Amino acid sequence: MDAWVWWVIGAVVLIVAEMLSLTLILAMLAAGAAAAAVAGLLGVNVLGQVLIFAGVSLAGLVVVRPVAKRHLYPSPSIRTGVDALVGSKALVLEQVDAHRGRIKLAGEVWSARTYDGESVIEPGQTVDVIKIDGATALVI
Asked if 54 and 86 sit in the same domain, the reply is no
Model pLDDT, residue 73: 79
Model pLDDT, residue 93: 97
Residue pair 33/7 in contact (Cβ under 8 Å)? The answer is: yes
Asked if 61 and 85 sit in the same domain, the reply is no
Asked if 54 and 89 sit in the same domain, the reply is no
The residue range of the domain holding 116 is 81-139
Model pLDDT, residue 1: 84
Residue pair 14/30 in contact (Cβ under 8 Å)? The answer is: yes
Asked if 104 and 57 sit in the same domain, the reply is no
Domains of the chain: total: 2
Asked if 13 and 55 sit in the same domain, the reply is yes
> What is the CB-side half-sphere exposure of residue 94 using CA atoms within 13 A?
10
Asked if 121 and 101 sit in the same domain, the reply is yes
Model pLDDT, residue 75: 72
Model pLDDT, residue 52: 98
For the chain, which residues score pLDDT lower than 70? none
Q: Last residue of some domain: 46, 72, 98?
A: 72
Residue pair 37/1 in contact (Cβ under 8 Å)? The answer is: no
